[in-house]
Structure 1
Amino acid sequence: MKNIVKKLAPLALAVLVLTGCDKEYLDTAPSSSVPNEMVFGTTEGATVALNGIYRSLWTSMDNHGNYGQKSYDLTMDMMGNDVITPVRGYGWFVAEYNHSAYATATTTSRSGVAWRYYYRTINNANLIIANVDNATGTQARKDYVKGNALFLRAHSYFYLINMFQHTYKGHENAPGVPLYTEPTTEGKGRGTVQEVYNQIIADLDAAEALLEGKTKDLVSHINQKTVKGLQARVALQMENWERARMKANEARQGYSLMNATTYKAGFGVANSEWMWGLQIPNDQSTIYASFFSHMSNTAGGYAGLGSKKLITRELYEKMSATDVRKEIVQAPVADNKGTQPNYTSLKFRLPGAGSWAADYVLMRASEMYLIEAEALARLGRAPEAVALLETLVRSRDAAYVAPAISGQALIEEILIQRRIELWGEGFSILDLKRLNRPVKRITGTAANGEHVEALILVKERSITDPQILFRIPQDEINNNKALSASDQNP
C-alpha cells in the first residue's frame, strides 16, 4: 500500500470546499493540503474530514463505471447469477459480467480501482481515528466522529477481504490483505484472513460502544444500529450463526418494513426501512457515473440508453402473482414487445422526472430479517425462523405462507427470498462465496430471461476457483517492499 498512502501523507489532509454547497470532502492529492492540526484541532474540523469520507462513497473516481460503493455492489451482482445485461451497449460492467474486469493487475482495472478506493477510505479513517481524541470539543462529539470512522474502516476491510480472497470459513489462514490501523507510509504484507476479520470485529465492537445513544447527523452517516447491521453481515459471512442472529435482531429494532406502495416507488428515497443510505443532492449528482445511470432502466443513463438490467426467468418465476416484487419486473410478452424488454427490473428508479437527485441504499432492515431467519434456521429454531420469514415476505405478498418445512429445505426457502428481496443490492457474489455455490448462468436469450451467451465468457465457475479473486495492483507489488510477486493472487 506504500504507493497509495504516499498520495495522502499522514501529516497533512487536503480539504476542499465544493462551490455552492456546504459539503466538504477529502482529496488524496498532496496539493492544497493543510496541516493535521488545522483539520483536527476541533471536532468541527474532524467532522469536515468525516463528511469528506462519506462523500467519497458516492463520487466518481475516474470514469463512469467508478462511483463509490454502489459501483462495487453492482460489480458483485454482475459477477453472480441473477442479474442479466442483454446487450453490450456502451460496455460498462460487461467486463465485470464476463469475469474479465478483475483478472488484470493494472491500476485502471476493476481490481486496481477497488484497491485504491477502499484503501483511500481506510487511510482517511485512520487519520481521523489517530487524531480526533486530541481535538477540542465534547467527548460525545469525539466518540461520534471516531465511531463513524471505525465503522468505515471495518466496512472497507470487509469488502477488500471478500474481493481479494475466498470466504472466511475454511480459508482462515489464507493470505488476506495488508492491515493498516494507523497513518503510515510503510507498506505491509498480506495479513491472514483471520487477522483481517479480527480487526473488522474489533473496529465494529469499538464503534458500537462509542455510538451508544447517539443519533446520526445525516442520512449518509451511521448510528449504532447500522454498526449492528454490519456486525450481523460479517457474522453471517463467518458462519457465526448465533452472533448473526443476535446482531441482526438488535439492528432491526425500531425500523418498519416498507409497504407495497413504498416498495414500488423505486428505491431512490430513504424511508422507514433504510438503516443506511447515501443522500445525493441534484447539484452534486454524478449523472452518467452513477448507480441509477447503470441500474435505472427508465432514466436517461446507460441502462435507459440500452444497457438494461434484467432479472433471470428462474428467479422471476419463484415469485407469486400476488408478490409486489414481481409487479416491478416487466412480465414476459410475445415477441418481447412490452413497455420494457422482458424481465426488465424497475426496482431502481429516480424519484423525480428531470432530476438526478436520489439516495443510494446501503443497508435495509429486510436484510436483517433475512439474516436472523437464516441464522435461526441453521441453529435448528425452525418455528422462529418461519415466523420471521413470514413477517418479511407478507409485507411484499400478503398471501404468502411459508412451507411447512425445516432444516435444509427451510434454509433454501430463506435463501430464495433473500435473492428476490436483495436483488440488485450487491450480495450475489458474497452469498455464493459463503454458501460455497458456483457461478452458474443458464444461457439462452434475454427475451427468455436467460443470460446471453455472447456476452458472458464464464457460464459456470467454481466459487473457489482462484481465478475469481481480484488481483493486487502490480504497482502495489512493485512499490511495497513487504510484498513480492509470490503474493499475487493466481
Structure 2
Amino acid sequence: MKNIVKKLAPLALAVLVLTGCEKEYLETTPKSQVPNDLVFSSTEGATVALNGIYRSMWTSMDGSHGHFGQKSYDLTMDMMGNDVITPVRGYGWFVAEYNHSAYGTATQTSRSGATWRYYYRTINNANLIIANVDEAVGTQERRDYLKGNALFLRAHSYFYLINLFQHTYKGNENAPGVPLYTEPTTEGKGRGTVQEVYNQIVADLDAAEALLAGKTKDHVSHINQKTVKGLQARVALQMENWERAAIKANEARQGYTLMNAATYKAGFGTSNGEWMWGLQIPNDQSTIYASFFSHMANTAGGYAGLGSTKLITRELYEKMSPTDVRREIVQAPSVDNKGTYYNYTSLKFRLPGAGSWAADYVLMRASEMYLIEAEALARLGRDAEAVTVLETLVKARDPLYVTLATSGTALIEEILIQRRIELWGEGFSILDLKRLNRPVKRTVGTAPNGEHVEALILVKERSITDPQILFRIPQDELNNNKALSAGDQNP
C-alpha cells in the first residue's frame, strides 16, 4: 500500500473539503504534508477530518461517473449478482460490472483499482483520527465519539475489502486477505489472512460499540451505537456466527419503526424512521450524473432514465403477492411492453424533488436487521422465533402475508427470498451469494420477459468460488509495495 498511502497522505486534500468555512484553511496549508498539529490539536479540527471522510463516501472519485463512493460499490455488488437486469447497453456505465469483466483488470482506474483506493483512503484517514484524537483538546466524551466513528469506518472498509478481494469467510480463514493497517504509515504490508482481517473488524466494532454508548450522532451521515451493532450483525452473518448475528441484529433494530406502505413507495431518497444510517447530499454539492440516483432512479434525468434502465427479474417479481407494496413499485409487465415504463422497471429509487438532485443514500435499514435476526434464529433451530420476526417485517409490506414455511430448510429459503426482495438494489447480492456458496446463475431470454439478455451479461453462470470473481490488486500496488509480489495477485 506504500504508493497509495503516499497519495493519501496530504490530509488537506483527502478530507478537508467540506464547506466554505474551511476554504481559507485549505488555501493556506501546505499540501505536501499531513498537518496533524493543526487538524488534531482540538476535537473541532478532528471533527472536520471526520466529516471529510463521510463526505468522501458519496463524492465522485477523479470525476468519474461510475465512482461515487459507497453506493457505487453497492451497485457493483448487485450488478454482479442475479436479480438486477440492464436490458440495453445504454451509456455503458456498470455494464462491465454486470458482465463480470470490470474487476479483472488491475489498473488504477479499473473497478478493482478504484475500490482499493477508495477503501484504503478511508482506512488511512480513519487511522489518522484514531492515532491522534486522544491528545486533542476537548472533552473525553467528544474524543470518544470521534474515535468510535473512525473505528467503525475502518471496520466497514475492511469488511468490503476482504469480501471483494477474497472469497467468503467460512472455509477461507487462512487464505490471503488484504494488507492490514491500524496506524498511519507509508510502509506497505503483505496480505494478512482472512481471519486476521476479520479479527480486526470485530475488535474495531466492539471498541466502537463501547465508545459510542449513550451518544447521539451529530448528523444523519454519522453513526451511533445502533449503527455499530447493525454492522456487527452484518459481519456476524457473513462469518456464520448465528448467535452473535441474532443478538446484535435484535439490539440494533430497537427503537426503529418499519416504513409503512406510503413511505416505502416514496422513493428511498429521504431518511426516515427505519433508516439506521444514510448519507445526506445537499443539492448544491450533488454529483448529478456521477451518483447512485443517476444510475438507479429510472424516473430521473440521469443514466437510468436516459436508457440504462434497471429492472427486477420476473422470477423475483412473481414471488411477491399482489398485495405486497414492493410489487407496486415495479412496472407490471404487459404483452406489448408499452406500459408507462419498460416491463419490470424498478421504481424503488427516486429523487425526492423534481428538478433537484438533493437526496439521501441509504446504507443501513432496520429491515436488514429483521432479516438477519430471522435467518440466524432459523439456523439455530429456533423456528417459531424466526417466523415471528420474519412475519413482523413482511406484514409491514404485505398485510396478508403468512409464511407457509415454518421450519427447517424451507423456512431459511423463505427468509432468503424475502431478503432478496426487500434489499434489492441496496448492495447485498454478491455478499449473499458468497456466504451461501451459491452460483451466479441468470435466466437468459428477453428483457421484456424479465430475463437477462445474453449479449450483455456474457456470464450466464459462474461458481461463486471461481477465482475469476475476485477483484484484482492494482498493479501499481504490487509494483510499489515491497511486501507484495506478483505472486500475491488474485488468480
TM-score normalised according to structure 1 size: 0.97
- After superposition, the C-alpha distances for 1:237-262 in whole angstroms (9 at most, x for unaligned) are 00000000000000000000000000
1:390 corresponds in structure 2 to: 391
Distance of aligned partners of 1:146 and 1:25 in 2 relative to their CA distance in 1, 3 Å threshold = farther
Q: Deviation of residue 14 (structure 1)?
A: 5.7
- State the percentage of identical aligned residues: 88
Instruction: State the distance in 1 between where 2:352 and 2:235 align.
Output: 31
1:42 is aligned to 2:50: no
2:252 corresponds in structure 1 to: 251
Q: Secondary structure at the match of 2:44?
A: helix
2:74 corresponds in structure 1 to: 73
Contact 1:13 1:33 in 2 (8 A): no
Contact 1:26 1:49 in 2 (8 A): no
Distance of aligned partners of 1:14 and 1:465 in 2 relative to their CA distance in 1, 3 Å threshold = closer
Q: Secondary structure at the match of 1:203?
A: helix
Q: Deviation of residue 15 (structure 1)?
A: 5.5
Instruction: State the distance in 2 between where 1:404 and 1:135 align.
Output: 55
Distance of aligned partners of 1:457 and 1:479 in 2 relative to their CA distance in 1, 3 Å threshold = same
Q: Deviation of residue 30 (structure 1)?
A: 7.4
Distance of aligned partners of 1:76 and 1:116 in 2 relative to their CA distance in 1, 3 Å threshold = same
Q: Deviation of residue 6 (structure 1)?
A: 0.8
Distance of aligned partners of 1:222 and 1:24 in 2 relative to their CA distance in 1, 3 Å threshold = farther
For residues 192-231 of structure 1, what are the structure 2 equivalents within 5 Å? 192-231=193-232
2:438 corresponds in structure 1 to: 437
Q: Secondary structure at the match of 1:451?
A: coil
Instruction: State the distance in 1 between where 2:362 and 2:211 align.
Output: 24
1:425 corresponds in structure 2 to: 426
2:354 corresponds in structure 1 to: 353
Distance of aligned partners of 1:24 and 1:161 in 2 relative to their CA distance in 1, 3 Å threshold = farther
Contact 2:46 2:129 in 1 (8 A): yes
Q: Deviation of residue 156 (structure 1)?
A: 0.1
Instruction: State the distance in 2 between where 1:274 and 1:325 align.
Output: 17
Structure 2 counterpart of 1:320, which letter? Answer: S
- After superposition, the C-alpha distances for 1:207-229 in whole angstroms (9 at most, x for unaligned) are 00000000000000000000000
For residues 219-298 of structure 1, what are the structure 2 equivalents within 5 Å? 219-298=220-299
1:148 is aligned to 2:149: yes
Structure 1 counterpart of 2:37, which letter? Answer: E
**5+ unaligned residues in a row in structure 1: which ranges?**
none
1:312 is aligned to 2:301: no
Root-mean-square deviation over aligned CA pairs = 1.7
Contact 2:179 2:191 in 1 (8 A): yes
Distance of aligned partners of 1:409 and 1:30 in 2 relative to their CA distance in 1, 3 Å threshold = farther
Contact 2:270 2:360 in 1 (8 A): yes
Q: Secondary structure at the match of 1:278?
A: strand
Q: How many corresponding residue pairs? A: 489
Distance of aligned partners of 1:179 and 1:321 in 2 relative to their CA distance in 1, 3 Å threshold = same
Distance of aligned partners of 1:342 and 1:154 in 2 relative to their CA distance in 1, 3 Å threshold = same
2:365 corresponds in structure 1 to: 364
Instruction: State the distance in 2 between where 1:23 and 1:267 align.
Output: 32
Structure 2 counterpart of 1:481, which letter? Answer: K
Distance of aligned partners of 1:262 and 1:465 in 2 relative to their CA distance in 1, 3 Å threshold = same
Instruction: State the distance in 1 between where 2:14 and 2:292 align.
Output: 27
1:114 corresponds in structure 2 to: 115
Structure 2 counterpart of 1:185, which letter? Answer: T
**5+ unaligned residues in a row in structure 2: which ranges?**
none
Instruction: State the distance in 1 between where 2:46 and 2:22 align.
Output: 15
Instruction: State the distance in 2 between where 1:444 and 1:176 align.
Output: 37
Structure 2 counterpart of 1:143, which letter? Answer: D
Q: Secondary structure at the match of 1:336?
A: coil
Q: Secondary structure at the match of 2:277?
A: strand
Structure 1 counterpart of 2:51, which letter? Answer: N
Instruction: State the distance in 2 between where 1:419 and 1:457 align.
Output: 23
Contact 1:282 1:357 in 2 (8 A): yes
